[in-house]
Amino acid sequence: MEKSEKEKWILAGKIGKEARDFGISLAEPGAKLLDIALAIEKKISDAGAKPAFPPNLSLNYFAAHYTPKFKDATELKKGDLLKIDVGASVDGYLSDTAATVLVGGGENKVLDAAKEALSNAIKKVKPGIRIDEISKTIEEAIRGKGCNPIVNLGGHGIERYSIHEADFIPNIRGNSSHMIKKEGAFAIEPFATDGGGYVVDSPEVQILMLVETKPVRSQLGRQILDFIASEYNTLPFAKRWILEKFGIMAELELKPLVSSGALYEFNVLKEQQNGNVAQFEHTLLIDGNEVTVTTE
């Protein structure tokens, strides 16, 4: 791996860690999700980077893909289980990291299960290890705490300007013969729940991503698509970012862009039985025999 490339991966990890920890410090009863998201975004920007994706601030039985909507008024309550999933982009080199906070403090077995699973899994990582060995470690840690792993979520490869790439790292053991590569970045991402262990799409969408540029009839639609391509490339973006830039009428322009296949929607994911969900995540970088946890 080129030295300059490695330095950008590591810097993205450092900025992502700082943004995650800053978000944790803001997670108090009465805090607004939108204020937390805006503060995280500013923290990343002030460090000279861009968000790798909108801050995901998913509550309780929502597992992932919730970022505050335009003028979101949601406030944290004592006892909420808040997942803070953030990342930074340094010239397209990315980080992806998450932690879960029990708002107001206290003990929570779901949180403890996901946290222990991540710690145990990272200890297993080395170039050439079978992905199934990491998955087995995650599953054993979560079930050992009396919780269920979420079977259709997990870790993933990371490439430049692409936050989700092969190989998938499930939260349960399987029969995969795939191995961790000897060069590149990836995320380990345990999800634990006191529900059944399966997530489904909710109707809500607040995050989208450019798939490809396509001809657009509407002048405003063309402006929006050009802006998305130049500002975010193929990284996910928040619907509210577009509304803040172009006004509330822009939401009507997004619908045909999705229908045409130019944009992809990320539905907010919820635990099927409405069980509480906790998530912890780190980005790891492998360069030969060297393993670096960039977000630790």
The answer to whether residues 44 and 22 touch, using CB atoms and an 8 Å cutoff, is no
Give the global pTM: 0.95
Regarding whether 257 and 177 lie in a shared domain, the answer is no
Q: At what angle do helices 219-232 and 250-259 cross, to 10 degrees?
A: 80
Regarding whether 38 and 107 lie in a shared domain, the answer is yes
What is the residue whose two structure tokens read 């998913």?
A: 58
- The question of whether 290 is a catalytic residue gets the answer no
Regarding whether 100 and 214 lie in a shared domain, the answer is no
Regarding whether 177 and 112 lie in a shared domain, the answer is yes
How confident is residue 182, by pLDDT bands cut at 50, 70 and 90?
A: confident
Regarding whether 216 and 189 lie in a shared domain, the answer is no
Residue 239 is part of which domain span? 202-268
Regarding whether 287 and 242 lie in a shared domain, the answer is no
The count of structural domains within the chain is 2
- The question of whether 65 is a catalytic residue gets the answer no
The Cα–Cα gap between 38 and 190 comes to 26
Regarding whether 160 and 284 lie in a shared domain, the answer is yes
- CATH number of the domain that residue 245 is part of: 1.10.10.10
Predicted pLDDT of residue 3: 92
**pLDDT, tens digit (0-9, with 9 covering 90-100), for 268-282:** 999 999 999 999 999
**Distance from the Cα of residue 259 to its chain's centroid:** 25
Regarding whether 150 and 88 lie in a shared domain, the answer is yes
Active-site hit among 80, 189, 194, 287: 189
Active-site hit among 156, 194, 271, 287: 156
Active-site hit among 194, 253, 281, 287: 281
Buried-state track 98-127, b at ≥16 Cβ within 10 A, e below 16:
bbbbbbeeeebebbbbbbbbbebbbebbee
Active-site hit among 18, 41, 80, 85: 85
**pLDDT, tens digit (0-9, with 9 covering 90-100), for 44-99:** 999 999 999 999 999 999 999 999 999 999 999 999 999 999 999 999 999 999 99
**pLDDT, tens digit (0-9, with 9 covering 90-100), for 209-252:** 999 999 998 999 999 999 999 999 999 999 999 999 999 999 99
- The question of whether 132 is a catalytic residue gets the answer no
Predicted pLDDT of residue 223: 96
The answer to whether residues 156 and 186 touch, using CB atoms and an 8 Å cutoff, is yes
Beta-carbon contacts of residue 82 (< 8 Å; ≥ 6 apart): 27, 57, 58, 59, 76, 100, 101, 103
Q: Which residue has the higher pLDDT, 289 or 74?
A: 74
- The question of whether 226 is a catalytic residue gets the answer no
Task: Please state, as a whole number, how many other Cβ atoms lie within 10 Å of the Cβ of residue 230.
Answer: 8
Predicted pLDDT of residue 177: 79
Amino acid occupying residue 25: S
pLDDT greater than 90 at residue 31:
yes
Predicted pLDDT of residue 175: 79
The answer to whether residues 282 and 97 touch, using CB atoms and an 8 Å cutoff, is yes
Active-site hit among 18, 41, 80, 96: 96
- The question of whether 194 is a catalytic residue gets the answer no
- The question of whether 281 is a catalytic residue gets the answer yes
Regarding whether 228 and 261 lie in a shared domain, the answer is yes
Regarding whether 262 and 123 lie in a shared domain, the answer is no
- CATH number of the domain that residue 43 is part of: 3.90.230.10
Beta-carbon contacts of residue 98 (< 8 Å; ≥ 6 apart): 20, 56, 83, 84, 85, 86, 189, 279, 280, 281
Regarding whether 106 and 45 lie in a shared domain, the answer is yes
Please give the sequence-ordered ranges of beta strands (E in DSSP) within 110-242, or none if there are none. 148-149, 154-159, 162-170, 183-188, 191-193, 199-210, 237-238
Regarding whether 41 and 93 lie in a shared domain, the answer is yes
Active-site hit among 164, 165, 167, 231: 164
